[in-house]
Structure 1
Amino acid sequence: MSATLPESIAEKIIEDKIQEWEAKKSGRSGKEPGIGAYPFIAISRDYGCLEEKLIPLFEKKFQWKVYGRNLLDHIASRDALNRSFIETLDEHHANQLDQWVHYLISSGALRPDEYLVKLSKLMKVIVTHESAIFVGRGAHYILADKPHGVFVKLTAPFAYRAEHIARLKNMSQMEAELLVRRIDRERQEFIQHHFKQDIEDASHFDLSLNTRTIPADMVCQLVARVMEIKTSTGW
């Protein structure tokens, strides 16, 4: 989900999910577990660290839907879609959702920004219904209280990332370096503005993986192993 997602595809994904979750809602017994019961992966990544290769590998290995910036922003920007997502919860879970967002705001973990509140609710609704892979958008802060999530940072040295982007986008090394610096800065500013956090603080992650030195399949295996441990032990 790193590339721009065509609106028609986004709409189809959302429509299918709403229908799926509404069907599940109608079949609930009333003993559904509380919000956040499903395992998930939250990925933060430095630009140029092979995310275009790694994210599809995660999706294939775990067989979970990937929610990246484009899809999440598309839902958050459309009030009707946003409401439809939330309405897939029953009244009890909807009340829990409001209480959770109020707690995040009152505790200072979340700014009372309309966009961020919408984004937070979307992520909560998703993990209430199914396991998922979140890419970016501060998921590791929004979902930090969930014990069955694995929080991953994908990184690599700047020179390696710039060289990779130069090859990937067929641009000069200087152009690639400027692009990597700009996107790194934009991501840092997003986290600082919305969460008042340092994106470089490794304490927010279970794993920080150097994609220059760790092969892609090993990255997936390491995340899968940590997920296995967390879901089996309540780590």
Structure 2
Amino acid sequence: MENDKTYVIAIGRQFGCGGREIGQLIAKGLGVAYYDKELLSEAAKSSGVNEDFFEAADERSPRFFSSLWSFNLGYNTGAYFIGDTPLSDDSIYRAQSEVMTQLADRGPCVIVGRTADYLLRDHCKVVSVFVHSSIEDRVQRIMSRGDAKTEKEAREKAEKKNKLRAEYYNFYTDKKWGDAASYDLSIDASLLGTQATAMFIIDFVKKIINKK
């Protein structure tokens, strides 16, 4: 049943488009909570599983996650359980999903990525937004924050990260990552810049939330 006392702005984003910064500006502008990597810490605490597992599996499809077992991450993976369920891609996703639901119940918030738009669709009011930008802008942002040293490296990293996010989203939802039809709003941050894009989305969200 939908909780009409709260709402969530769920933000999907291309790697390097400034989605995190835009999400933070939206949360600040609306005076609501903001969750991104914080979800991993919350999920780890509630499940009793080392946070490294959530970090390693973050926004990666089960096919990718299954390959992690061969590395072990320095822990005895067989010893970790969530309740009575052995640690797996589904249990990782379920634990994170439960945390998102709990966070949504605390009050209005912005949640970045992790299929929040789909997961919470029947739980509360959700405004789903996908942020993208030109490859040129993404490359410059990726390099400026130190995630790559060359344009070639930045392009390759953007492509790899977006592929992982798409596989994750497409696996756990019945929608297509990045497809405009999957979201309430799809916006090119290259056109307005980070600050103005956030303001545009804030105005859009207010109109949707206040709609009778």
1:10-48 per-residue CA deviation (whole Å, 9 max, x = no partner) reads xxxxxxxxxxxxxxxxxxxxxxx9635202211001011
The aligned length equals 172
Q: TM-score by structure 2 length?
A: 0.71
Contact 2:7 / 2:125 at 8 angstroms: preserved in 1? Answer: yes
Q: Distance in 2 between matches of 1:124 and 1:52?
A: 20
1:192-224 per-residue CA deviation (whole Å, 9 max, x = no partner) reads 232353212222211111011123232222222
Map 1:115-130 onto structure 2 (within 5 A): 115-130=92-107
User: Does 1:180 find its partner at 2:158?
Assistant: yes
Contact 1:47 / 1:180 at 8 angstroms: preserved in 2? Answer: yes
Q: Which amino acid aligns with 2:173?
A: F
Shift of 1:191: 1.2
Q: Which residue of 2 aligns with 1:43?
A: 11
Shift of 1:81: 6.9
Q: Distance in 1 between matches of 2:35 and 2:21?
A: 16
Equivalent in 198, 205, 208 of residue 186 of structure 2: 208
Shift of 1:55: 2.8
Q: Which amino acid aligns with 1:209?
A: I
Map 1:75-94 onto structure 2 (within 5 A): 75-79=42-46
Equivalent in 56, 61, 73 of residue 40 of structure 2: 73
Gapped runs of 5+ residues in structure 2?
A: 50-88
Q: Compute the RMSD of aligned alpha carbons.
A: 2.5
- Where 1:200 maps in the other structure, the secondary structure is coil
Contact 2:2 / 2:122 at 8 angstroms: preserved in 1? Answer: no
Contact 2:3 / 2:124 at 8 angstroms: preserved in 1? Answer: no
- Where 2:195 maps in the other structure, the secondary structure is helix
Contact 1:35 / 1:127 at 8 angstroms: preserved in 2? Answer: no
Gapped runs of 5+ residues in structure 1?
A: 1-32, 83-111
Q: Give the share of equivalent positions with the same residue, in percent.
A: 20
Q: Which residue of 1 aligns with 2:53?
A: none
Q: TM-score by structure 1 length?
A: 0.64
Equivalent in 142, 145, 151 of residue 168 of structure 1: 145
Which is strand-richer, 1 or 2?
2
Q: Which amino acid aligns with 2:5?
A: A
Shift of 1:125: 1.7
- Where 1:137 maps in the other structure, the secondary structure is coil
Q: Distance in 1 between matches of 2:14 and 2:2?
A: 33
Q: Distance in 2 between matches of 1:54 and 1:205?
A: 17
Shift of 1:139: 0.6
1:85-142 per-residue CA deviation (whole Å, 9 max, x = no partner) reads xxxxxxxxxxxxxxxxxxxxxxxxxxx9322222222222222221111001111111
